[in-house]
Structures are given as C-alpha cells and as structure tokens.
Structure 1
Amino acid sequence: MDMDVDMDNMDMDARDEDASGSRLASIPALPGIQVVAKESAKRYQNSDVPLATWLDYRDEYLDDLMCLEGRGNYQQACAGCNAPFPNFRCKDCTLGALWCQACLVKRHSQSPLHIVEMWNGLFFQQSTLMALGLRVQLSHPPGRFCPTKEPGHKFFAVIDANGIHSIAVNFCRCVHVEHRTQLLRIGWWPATPLEPQTCATMSVLQHVHLLNLQGNITGYSFYRALEYQTDNTGLHRPSDHLPAFMLMAREWRHMKMVKHTGRAFDPGGIKATAPGSLAIPCRACPLPNINLPHGWENVPPERAWLYMLMVTMDANFRLRSKLRGLQSKDPTLMPGWAYFVNNGPYSDFIKDYVDQDEIRTCVGFQALLNMLTKKSKGLHTTGLATMSCTRHQLFRPLSMGDLQKGERQCNMDYLFTSSVAGTVGLRQLAVSYDVGCQWFTNFWRRMPSLPAHLHLPFSVSAVKALVPKFHLQSHEEKCHSPFSFNFFRGAGRAEGEGMEHNWDMLNGHGPSTAEMVPGHRWETLDDCCGWVNWRKTMGLGNLLLKRLLVAIPHAIQTCNDIVALTSSLRAENPDELTAMENELQAWEADKSKPDPYRLPKSNVTLTQVRLVMAEEEKVRAEEGATYVHDVSAGAFLLLGTEIQNLQQTLHHEVSGLQKQTLLQTTFVVEWQTVLLKRVQHFRKIQHIYMPGFNPRYYNNTDVSDSNSNSNTPMMVENTKLYMPSELSASNRRKFCPNGLASLEDRIRFAEASDSLEDLQHHLRTRSFTNKFKIANVTGQRKNTRAREVQHRIDDKVRASELQYRQAQEALKQLRGPGDWEITLKVLEKSDVRALNERELNQEEQDKQYRLRQRLGINVDDMENERVVGQVAAVGEGYRRPLWIWFTSASTAEAMNDPLTRQAIRVEWAKAKARTARWEEEVILLDEEMRRVLQFCDWKAKWWRNLLSLRTPDDNMLSEGLATYTAQQAAQELDIAQNWEAKWKAAVTRRRIMWARARQ
C-alpha cells in the first residue's frame, strides 16, 4: 500500500472493547512503551489559548483582514522586476507582493492553476492567467516551447482544489504521445481518453477521495463547493463539469485500488486480476503459506484451535440500492475482484430461490428485520450482507453481496462459502452469526445445491457456528451454552460483534450509494471496505498491544481464582468436584448431555416466598424477644450487638428519606425513643462489666449520654457504645476484666457466620424471585405487588450485609490480621449477589438500553434487570467467583440445597471457562503478533519479486515500477520494525509474568 502511515497515531478499534481504557489505567506501565495520549497532552499543553483571550484581539484581527483587501505595503514596485505601479497579485501565493503582468505570467509557468486578481483602480477584480497570456506547454521542460505544438480546445477546463479553471494548453507533437498521456504525466487526469477537453488534478481527486472515505463527503457536494469557491455569486458561474468530475473520481478510485495491489506488474494487465485479489487481507489471521509457522499442520488436536479461522457474518438493511434506468448500461470495473462477489454467477444462483423464506430466528430481532425489509418498492436491493474476521474485524474478500428480500439462506450460504472456500489447508473454522443457531442447523444438507467451486474443504466437525455475545442474550436459553463464545475452545476473548462496528463505518455512505447504479455502488463500497481494512491494519500495532496488556493480569487472576475455587471444593467435597469435572467433559464431547453452564428452572413462586417469610416471622414471634436482657456478661454483649444492628438499620432508613412526611417523622421519633431507652439500659450494665470506664470522660465527642452537658445533641443512631472491640488494646486490658473481650470474640464470630448464612439464604430467595418476576409477572398491579416482595427481600439482604460487616470489623479489632480472614473476608459491595449473577453498572445499562432500542427489543423491563443471571450475560469474562459461596463455613450448608448445589456447579464451570478463555487470549495474541511480523516480511519479499514479472521497454516505466516496489517493501519493513519495538517490552514482561503464574 502507498497510503500515508502515521505510526504515532494508529487507529485502534472502538470495539473491543469496551471499557478497556479504565482497565488499562490499573495496569503498571511497562518500560519502553509510549502512551500517545500522554505525549499529545504534553505537546500541546502550552499551545491552548482560551477563547476569552482571543476576544481581546478580534478587532485587531478584523483590521488586518481589511488591509488584505487593498494593495498593502508593496504597491510601488513589482516584486520581480521593480516596474512601477504593479497591478496584479496571486491569491494562492504568499499574499502581500504585487506583480506586473510579465513577471506574474513567468512566475506561474509551473503554477497555471493559481487564482490571480487585477487592480482596476478601485478594487481587485478576478482575472485568469489564460487571459494574461499564459499557455501550458505539455511534454517539454519549463521555458521551452514545442515547434510542432498543437493548441488544445479553447474551452479546456481543469478542476483543482481551489476552483474550476479555464486553461490555454499546447499539446506536443514532437513525439507520438497521446494527449491523455501528456496530461497524465503532469498530474492531470483526463475526463476521456479520446480528445480530452476537461481534466482534474490528481491532488483534487485524492482530496475528494479521502474526504469521501473519512468524512462521507459525496462527489456532488464537493464539486458544488468548488463551484461556489470559483464564483460564489452565480453571476459568472463556470461551465458544468459535474458528470465529467464524477466519472474521473470513479476512475481514480478504481485505479488506486489496482495500483495498491500490484496489478501494474502483471503481464496480463488489469483484466487478469484474480477474484478477491484487490481486497486487503487480515495479516493477523491464519494465512497458509504466508504467516503460519513451519509444521503448524502437525500440532496435536487439542492445540488445533491456535490456527483456527474465525469469521463473522451479518446483514445490513441501511445500505439499500434504488432502481435506476441506466443500470443495465453501466459497466462494472472490477467484477468480484475485491469484497463484492461477481454479481453474474451470484444472481444466477439466487434466482432459483426467489420464493425462499427468510431465516427463522428464536429471538426478537425478527420484528425489526420485517420493518426494514417490508418497504422494498422501488428498490433494486433491500440491503447487503458480508463477513469479517472475528478477532480483528477486517472485511473478508469475496464476502459481500446484495440482498433482494431479506436474510435468506441462499444468500448467506453463497456469501459464506465464497469467503472461506479459498482457505485451503486450515483445519478448523468458526463462524459467528446472530441467527447462527437456525442458519447452521441444515447447512450441510444445503451444501450440494451450491456451485461446486464453493464447496467447503472443511469436514463437518471442523466448522462451528456461534452467536455474538450481545445477540445471544435474546436467544432461547437452550441456545446459550452451545453457541456461546464464552464456552468455545479457542475463542479467546472474541465477542463476535465486530460487524456492528463495521456497519457504523459504512452506513454513512448509505444515502449516496443508494442513488448510484449497481456497478458504481459496488465499486464505491469495495473501496470503502478497503479503507476500513487499511485503517484497521495500521491499527494492529496498538490494538494487539492494548489487548495483551489487558489479557495478562486477567489471565493470571482467573487462573488464581480457579485454583483457589477448586482447592476449596476438593477439600470440602471431593466427590462433588469429580462429578462436576465428569459432567463438563461429557457435555464438551456431546452437547446433548446435561448442560453444565445452565441452571435448572426453579419452581419457587412469589406466593411460596411470601409463605416462607411469614413462617420465619412467626417463629421469631413465638420465641419472644431476640435477646433476653439479663445482667450476665453474655447478655450484656448481646444487647450491645442488638443495639448496633438497630442503629445501622435506623441510620439507613433516616438517610434514605429525602423529605419526611409527618407519619414518617413520627415513626422515626418513636424508633429513636425505643433505641435511646436501650442505650441507657446498656450504659447502666456497662458500669458493672466495665468498671472504671466512663464514656463521657473517655471521649468527649460522645454526647448521647444523658449526663452530657453538650449543647449539640447527637442522633441516637450515631451513638458509640464502646464495646470491647471499639476500644484500643491497652484500654481493653484496663476496662474489660474477666475475659469480656474473649467472650465478645466468640459472639462476633458466631454473628459473622450466622449473618453470612442469612445473607446466602436471602440472596437465593431474591434470585428466585427476580427470575420468576421477569419470566411470569406482567401488568402494573402484579408488578407493584411483586416489587413490594422484592423490596422486603432487599431489606433483609441489606440487614444481613450490614450485620456481617459490623461483626467482621469487630473481629478484626479484637484479633488483628490472621488466618481467620481466609474464611471471613471483607465483604465488598460486588460480593453481595447470588451465584451466577452479575450486577450491571450504569454504563452497561445505558448501552443495553440503546442497543435494545436500535434492535427492536422490549426495553420496558430494563429496570428489573439490574442483575443478570443468564448463561450468556455480557461481561462474563470479567466476573470473579464469589467467595461467600465457597468458604468452608458455607459450603456444607450450600450443598444441602439441591438448587444451590447446582448453582455452585455452574459457577465452577464458568470460572473454569473464564480461565481457559483468558489463557487462550494471551496465547493467541502472542501468535498474532508473530503472524503480523511474518506477514510484513513476506509482503516485502512479494513486492521485490514483482519486478521479475514484467520487463517493459520504456525506461521511464521501468524506473517507476522499480521505485514503487522499493517504496512498498521499505514501508513493510518499517511497519514491522516499529511494531516489533513497540511490543518488545510488553512481550518480555508477559513471558516473565506468565511463567511465574504457571509455576
């Protein structure tokens, strides 16, 4: 490729990725790796001037602009020959100097497309170099004229980036060179090869080409802007060359594609271009005989995934094509040479299946699909379908084709096989498709109906269909595990949603390509796909490095998690662990076996939950008060823990009230009164069991005591009791005789264990209730009642959570750090969730809401899905096993419940899959980096070898070919050298960390 390469600002895919920036912030910086954002910020930190500062100078700016309207300081003499009172100036040269006519024409012999102005005594009026006597002589050095010159057409026009010009041209007849060749050799592109009268400079064609690819600026809009730039009044509007300009832009686009792929070196010419050879391949995907290591075919079956090709296909109904009367007369410049398949054989195959129905699906996207395809009147095509590589999102060669009705199997089968049929030698193939569960079911039965050259070289067992992670959530649950990237060996951390990012880059061209005739539309979209592929190719250096920096710590973390989890299960219940392993192996060998990643359906209903809660309340009422208030030491400490629990509950209730009603205020005051009486009773007993301790003198900030003289009352829920765990070690020895601190230690340990079991119980109840509500409860009244039950359960979860934290903190004060913290760890907010659930953050909720709206999925129940318990939950790779379910204190109790036991099995299986996927990601990234560097080396050699294919007689052409190959080969080596240096520190660090983690 001869496109410009900015190695310091390479593109990185927006996809991946997804919140990776925040994760990168927590990774230590590696030596030798430069962060572009930091450098840019440092580079420009002193150059940003506030707009408010500029406002003070804008009058001065305006005065300087007005000075440019006059003749300035150099009006007395010509800048070239010092002739007096010059009258001409050039708007495209440096402003300020004035010239006489002779000097101006001589100076612009090599700049004939500049805009000049003449002073008429009052102001500058626009003139032309042709009117001043300039004639452009072709095929001769500057200043030399052809004795056999042939004047060009008197209305010869040249389109440049600064406007539309009328030029006087002299063609050369000294040598037998066609007019078109003479124009091309000075950088002017002729509108026709026969007697050209209109040209466009290659610079303006390059300009409109890049603006179209990057900014979706159409050729029509660009040309109209040039017209306004030439004459913004409409009084002297130039001749309309729009059709010629659009034709030249199309020809330029085509010639750039064939040039970049080395077609100039083929003795057979452009017509000998092979199908798909103009497409830019993904240099990080496996390419036999190009970037795979020697002996890769002989790797053992369990490692064959390392050389597996992963592709993604999808359809887009925004890139439509309207019926146009001239479509049969428009030639196709490159039929099936890049990303679009050859429409001739493709149409011949599709016409035999005009009555075929669209692919059925088990998800809610069908409504959106029908909405987009039902209005097909006046359309030549309703959209298009294509494929890309899954991990790097580059469009695949020969994978794009038009859709006539919707996503029919005949279209998708043809495009899929067309894209992968040429991958001879690879042993495994994975294809991601949002309705892959339906499309792939009978794929091999439909294979014989395809053309013979599209039959896949893979065996039936070597091809695996998957469903992208986000789309999989809306499928039936039976599709989740068999078609999930999370549980597929060799998938790494791929998510399969890359085509959605690619569509965003192409959809901007939809309005303009819809108006084009088919051939022009195919060429334009082919070029757009090539632009996307090139930008993504040049972003591989940063993309692979970013992914590696994310993958290393997560691979180590998940490896440690599964080791700890498996060790805990083996110690508590080795038979259960063996059963888990056997179940997982059986399912991987045969997907009809019980799914180890799927939770069984619970028959727990809301009515049953309410009954259980009512029975628990009844038992507590029959037992009387929670604690018997006695003067024993145990009763004293139990009273203190009860008061602290009530304080936390009251504090939570009060802080949650934004504006209290009279009834709420009354309730809070009554509760505070009851609590205050208990605190006063506790103080009386405290004098007995903690002799000599006076809370008023111990800490004068405590003013809740009745004897305090402070004028600033403290709320009773904030009163500090000063139990032994709340005192320093020296004060405990002084004020807590007779083993009072040891007694509280035993009480706190029991309290922590009990509250942890209560928390598990309430979380299980909440999980069943939430799932039942989402699946079965509809209507406002039923939803209101269900939410009341959910709120009550949430209150119980919160109470158990607060009680555990309080007991654990007290134990930490009494015992200090120790082995007991392995069992009773610090309870984080993220730990308070049921098995197989993941709490969505706000960013994820917003993203899901937008995506569901766009895809036509119901968004009414989004507020009830703050906790996702599905097998296919997005973000599964970043979950960690919940320690509260795998402590020695809780495992035995959990195994007694069949549903919880199965949930633990699922949690273990998912943790094992997460570990495998992250390990695969690290290994794949290492392999992809090696592939990219090897591809660069191969490509450099490929460019050098092209010179031997063609030996033209024209010395000028030979030198041009040799120069281009040398430039491209040097660019490939420069890319490899830059990326290798960028990756070196990270790869070295990865190997060290990886080796330590696997010891």
Structure 2
Amino acid sequence: MHINAHIVLCRLLFSLALILGSGMTDGEGIERLWAATAGVAGSTKLSGHGARADQLDDHWSFWNWSKLVGLAKLLRRRLANAKIEAKKQEDSFRVFIRSRRSMSGIGWRCAPDMMTEADLRKTLEEEDRSARDGGSIPLHSVGPSEFIVFGLELESQQRNLRVQAQMKRHGTTAEPIRLRPLRKKLGKSIKRLRDLQATYTPTALTHLASLDLSDNILAEDIPLLLPSSIPPSLREGCKDGLLEIEARLRHAQCQSALAQLRHQLHIKARLLIYKKLQLRHQGMNTRSRALVARNEQKIKSHSDLYQAARAALCQIESAVVWPPLLASDIRCLEDPDDISKREARNRRQVETRLRRQVELLEAGLIMEEDVKEQMGETDSEDEPGEEQHPQKSSGESRRTISWIWTVAGTTGTDATLLDSLRVEWSRAYARTRRWREEIRLLEEEIRCLPLSLRHEERIWNERGAEALGGDRRLQEGRVAYAAKQAAMYREIAWRAELIQVEEWQGKGHRKYAERRRLNEEVEMEDEKRDEEGDSDSEKEAEETDEGEEETDEETDEETNEETDEEDESD
C-alpha cells in the first residue's frame, strides 16, 4: 500500500482499485517474501559476491518453484473467494441502486413521496382543517392528528429525561442536572394526555388501570399508551383513523431519525480526524473527548428514536419496510486503512480463540459439541463453511457500507454529507466492477495454466530430440534430463486439469477430515474395548456360576455321606 504515501492525484490516477481492467491484482505479492529474504541475506554477510548471489538465487528459485507447483490450488481458492466477495459486493451495491435516492448529473435527488416529519405535520393539520371546513363535527378542540403528535412529543421527552437521569447518575456533566422540575413538568403533560385519551382512546385508560403500576413510578417510565401500544382486542373502542395517522408519523420519524443519525456519524468522523491530526496534550484532548461524548449521546438518541418508531410500526403493520437497526449498523463512512487494521485485529482474536479451542479439544478438556455450539453462537449469520475458515478481508476491496447510508432522507442542508455519499456510491461501483473483472481474469488464468505447462512439456521434448544429434558423450544425460523435465511438467499439468474439475471443499478440509477419521478410529477402538470388557465380564460371571454349582454339588454329596454314616451307626 505504498500508494497511500503519495499525493491524492497520484492515488486517484494509479490506484489499482480504480483502474479499469486491473481486477483485484495482488500488488503486494512480490513483497511477501522480503521478510524471509532478510534472514537469508543475514547469513551471507561473510560470503563473497558470487556465493552470495548463488545462495539468494537458489532461495528465490525455490520459492518460485513452490508457487508454480501450488498455482492451480491458489487460483482455484482465489476464484472461489472472488465469487463469494463479488456476490456480497453486488448485493451491497444493489441496495444502493434500489434505494429511493438516485444519482443525477448534479447530485443526489430525494424521492418526492418521502416527506419529512415537519412537512407531514403540516399536511395533517391541513387535513384536519379541511375536515372541519367540510362540516365534520370535531370531538375535541384538539384534533386527532394533534393528539398523536402531542403523544409523540411526550415520548421524545421521556427519552430525553432518561438520558438526563443517566448522565446525572454517572456524573458525565460538569453542570448540575435538576431532574425534579423536568419530571414535574412531564407529569403535568401526561395528565393532559390522559384527558385527550378519554375522548379519542378510552380503552387506553381501561388498559392502564389493568397494568397495576406502582405509585412511585417515575414520569419517564409511565406508559403513554398511544394507539399502537393498545392491544388489538381493545382498539375497537378508539376513534377511526388514529392508527393510520400514527403510522404515517412513525414512518416520517424513521426517515428523520436515520437522516439525523447519518449526519451525526459524519460529524463524529470529522471530530475524530481533527482530534487525531490537530490535538495534543491532556487539556485539549479532554475537551475534544467531551465533544465526541456529546456527539455519541446524540447518536444514541437518534438510534433510540428509530428503534421506538419501528417497534410501533411493527404493532400497526404486518410488513414493516424499515429494517432493524443493529449496533453493528451504526458506523461511519470509514477509511479503508482503519477498516483493515480493525479487521486484522479481529481476525487475530478469532484465530487465537480457534487455536485455543483446538488445543483444548485435542487435550480432551472440552467436547466437540461444545466447540460447535460456541462457533454457532459467534458465527450464526455466516455462510456455511465459513465458520472454520473465516474469510480474510482487508481495506477498500472487501468492505461494505452500512444500510443506513443507502436509504432515503437527508438533513437537506449538509452538502458535504451528500458529497461523501456520492463518493461511497462511486467506491461501491468500483469494487463491484473490480471483482467482476477478477472473476474473468482468474477463469482465464485457470484455463491457460495447463496449456502453458503443456507448452513447457513440448519444449523439453523438443530439446530432448535436439540432444540426439549432439555429442554422444553428453547425449544420454541430456535426453534423460529433458525427459525428466517433460514428465515433471506433464504431471503438474495433469494435476492442474484435475483441480479444475475437482470440487473445492474449503481450505484445510483434508486436515479436518484426517482429524475426524482419527477420532472415529479412536471411538471404534474404545467401543471394541468396551465390548471385549463386557464379554470378559460375562465369562467371569459364567465361571463363577459354574464354580458355585460345583460347590453346591460337593456340599450335597458330603451331606448325603454324613447321613448314610449316621444311618449305619444306628
């Protein structure tokens, strides 16, 4: 990755991830043996120039030969991994394409059917006003849409109050937080909501009475019982149209929450970059950390809003279009270098855990079922076959963006965020094209490998034929050496052709198959030993029974003899 040290223009013009037709070329392949070469070079310090050159050439030739021998398997493994990664990148890019936002010549366009929460509230107010002007008799001075909006505002106040209570509990703010006035104000608002519920949703009050709440319950923990929270069996007593109004507002909440969440994540990325590059010493870092902490609190607030809105939609609609928001989905538009470092660290942790489990399994300290259960818990969402051999991923070529950056809705004011999304779209498109090219290149290389080896075989056969007309003293050795080389390339070509049609079962499958076979043999030997032990026990039991029968017969004979003697004496 030497190109990262160059200027931006150089990285844009010569990055293999952006050059058409480059595929996923392994540009670092020539450097992977430098570590081993350094060790060899150290052993040639006292050698002459010729001996040093010969020794280095011997090692390099051996490494090249090892690569040629294993090239067929390497290409097959890379092709299988490329197909998996290409499918993953295409699926991720397809989500981008299917999103409501599309890219135009100028920038991103927001779909016309996706209204913001503020616009939807204005629309609902106009609908209520039109209904009153049309002769509809209102049940209350507060309209149905205002009633739902008021309930959603109280729900937001409860979330904010919980955050304030948590901050006071942990002492994360320098200023004192007074919760009692906030709870008192919220309690009065909830009482007003109960008055409105008596008009629009009287069954909510009935359900509230059946909950048997404590008298000491805090204001932020009191259930508001909006129409979506009322059990379906009690919704018949509510005013018609309330669920539809709440559903529309909940959809707008999901959209606005995601837009604000993306905005705060973008701010967080900028704050972290500024902190890393510009700030030094304890005082400046402490103030910067406080800014990041406040930003993270806003991120949590927006994510809680989205989750609450989606949970309410699940109670209203049978099929919810908004996907669940997981902790792993809340991430920034990350830099590829940071991704590669984190994934390398996670990969080392997984490899260490797997190595430890194998050692415990071989030592007999844990059972194979326990290992499978642990693997199922940690990798339950992986594809089959990836549990034992996690896919290595690094940098820009293998990463995927979170779905939160692909759905519609923006803050409408941050042009920098839109530019970042445009860059992500371009990167996703480039990754998809590079992996498609990689599949085509690997398929062509796999096809050409046996042909190249057969060509080498023909060359050595021709050399052997040419040796027949040379010096007779060297003729036999040259012909034998040429035949040996031709047979060697023929064998490698045959193995390459066999690997093309052989189904790949995954890296290391032979090792695991051999270990499984040895375990089965050990189990069979244990069963056979148990059966032999059971048969020996049965034989011992039979011998014991026979001995007891003989003893009983001898005792009976002695008793009869004593009886006869007594009769004779009488």
Give the TM-score, by structure 1 length: 0.37
Displacement of 1:803 in angstroms is 0.9
Distance in 1 of aligned mates of 2:22 and 2:59: 28
Conserved 8 A contact 1:633-1:740:
yes
Distance 1:563 1:520, change over 3 A: same
Displacement of 1:652 in angstroms is 6.7
The answer to whether the aligner puts 1:780 opposite 2:282 as a matched pair is yes
Residue deviations 1:175-234 (CA, integer Å, cap 9, x gap): xxxxxxxxxxxxxxxxxxxxxxxxxxxxxxxxxxxxxxxxxxxxxxxxxxxxxxxxxxxx
Distance in 2 of aligned mates of 1:936 and 1:656: 70
Distance 1:722 1:529, change over 3 A: farther
Distance in 2 of aligned mates of 1:529 and 1:554: 32
Distance 1:655 1:970, change over 3 A: farther
Residue deviations 1:828-847 (CA, integer Å, cap 9, x gap): 44544455756738734749
Distance 1:841 1:835, change over 3 A: closer
Match of 1:948 among 442, 447, 465: 465
Point out which structure has higher relative CO (alpha carbons under 8 A, 6+ apart): 2
The answer to whether the aligner puts 1:916 opposite 2:433 as a matched pair is yes
Correspondence list, 1:381-396, <5 A? none
Match of 2:48 among 491, 501, 517: 517
Say which SS state the counterpart of residue 491 (structure 1) adopts.
coil
Distance in 2 of aligned mates of 1:638 and 1:927: 62
Match of 2:491 among 947, 950, 971: 971
Displacement of 1:926 in angstroms is 0.9
Structure 1 match to 2:106: 576
Conserved 8 A contact 2:79-2:439:
yes
Displacement of 1:948 in angstroms is 1.1
Say which SS state the counterpart of residue 493 (structure 1) adopts.
coil
Correspondence list, 1:307-386, <5 A? none
Displacement of 1:799 in angstroms is 1.2
Conserved 8 A contact 1:726-1:810:
yes
Say which SS state the counterpart of residue 23 (structure 2) adopts.
coil
How many correspondences in the alignment? 424
Displacement of 1:660 in angstroms is 5.1
Conserved 8 A contact 1:690-1:736:
yes
Match of 1:925 among 442, 461, 465: 442
Match of 2:342 among 843, 857, 861: 843
The answer to whether the aligner puts 1:803 opposite 2:311 as a matched pair is no
Structure 2 match to 1:538: 69
Conserved 8 A contact 1:689-1:736:
yes
Structure 1 match to 2:545: none
Structure 2 match to 1:744: 246
Match of 1:879 among 390, 399, 411: 399
Distance in 1 of aligned mates of 2:173 and 2:428: 49
Displacement of 1:487 in angstroms is 0.9
Say which SS state the counterpart of residue 931 (structure 1) adopts.
helix
The answer to whether the aligner puts 1:939 opposite 2:447 as a matched pair is no
Displacement of 1:970 in angstroms is 4.0
Displacement of 1:905 in angstroms is 3.2
What are structure 1's unaligned runs of at least 5 residues? 1-467, 580-629, 708-712, 850-872, 987-999
Conserved 8 A contact 1:654-1:668:
no
Structure 2 match to 1:609: none
Displacement of 1:929 in angstroms is 0.8
Correspondence list, 1:346-745, <5 A? 468=1, 471-559=2-90, 561-562=92-93, 565=96, 574-576=104-106, 633-634=144-145, 637-638=148-149, 640-645=151-156, 648=159, 677=187, 681=191, 684-685=194-195, 686=197, 689-693=200-204, 694-695=206-207, 705-706=213-214, 721-728=224-231, 730-731=232-233, 733-745=235-247
Displacement of 1:543 in angstroms is 2.3
Structure 2 match to 1:371: none
Say which SS state the counterpart of residue 527 (structure 1) adopts.
helix
Distance 1:732 1:752, change over 3 A: farther
Distance 1:650 1:924, change over 3 A: farther
Distance in 2 of aligned mates of 1:926 and 1:784: 54
Correspondence list, 1:815-894, <5 A? 815-817=317-319, 821=321, 824-834=322-332, 840=339, 843-844=342-343, 846=345, 875-880=395-400, 884-890=404-410, 894=412
Residue deviations 1:765-819 (CA, integer Å, cap 9, x gap): 334433444443333322222222222222212211221222133223312326x
Distance in 2 of aligned mates of 1:544 and 1:522: 31
Conserved 8 A contact 1:766-1:793:
yes
AA paired with 1:814? I
Structure 2 match to 1:902: 419
Distance in 2 of aligned mates of 1:639 and 1:726: 15
Residue deviations 1:925-959 (CA, integer Å, cap 9, x gap): 11111121222222232333332132345897478
Give the structure with the larger helix fraction.
2
Give the TM-score, by structure 2 length: 0.61
Distance in 2 of aligned mates of 1:973 and 1:848: 35
Match of 1:759 among 261, 273, 280: 261
Distance 1:826 1:513, change over 3 A: same
Residue deviations 1:550-573 (CA, integer Å, cap 9, x gap): 22243344445556645768x766
Structure 1 match to 2:502: 982
AA paired with 1:791? A
AA paired with 2:466? L
Residue deviations 1:699-721 (CA, integer Å, cap 9, x gap): xxx66x136xxxxx988766655
Distance in 2 of aligned mates of 1:676 and 1:897: 33
Conserved 8 A contact 2:95-2:406:
no
Distance 1:650 1:731, change over 3 A: same
AA paired with 1:494? T
Distance 1:771 1:678, change over 3 A: farther
Displacement of 1:921 in angstroms is 0.9
Displacement of 1:501 in angstroms is 2.0
Distance in 2 of aligned mates of 1:966 and 1:829: 59
Distance in 1 of aligned mates of 2:221 and 2:161: 10
Distance 1:680 1:909, change over 3 A: closer
Distance 1:934 1:985, change over 3 A: farther
Conserved 8 A contact 1:936-1:976:
no
Displacement of 1:542 in angstroms is 2.9
Displacement of 1:520 in angstroms is 2.1
Displacement of 1:848 in angstroms is 13
Conserved 8 A contact 1:545-1:983:
no
RMSD value, Cα: 4.5
Distance in 1 of aligned mates of 2:51 and 2:217: 79
Conserved 8 A contact 2:256-2:409:
no
Residue deviations 1:471-501 (CA, integer Å, cap 9, x gap): 3334443432123221112221235222442
Displacement of 1:523 in angstroms is 1.7
Distance in 2 of aligned mates of 1:932 and 1:656: 65
What are structure 2's unaligned runs of at least 5 residues? 110-140, 349-392, 507-570
Residue deviations 1:851-892 (CA, integer Å, cap 9, x gap): xxxxxxxxxxxxxxxxxxxxxx962223345554554443xx
Conserved 8 A contact 2:250-2:313:
yes
Distance in 2 of aligned mates of 1:530 and 1:956: 26
Distance 1:874 1:776, change over 3 A: farther
Distance 1:814 1:474, change over 3 A: farther
Conserved 8 A contact 1:672-1:716:
no
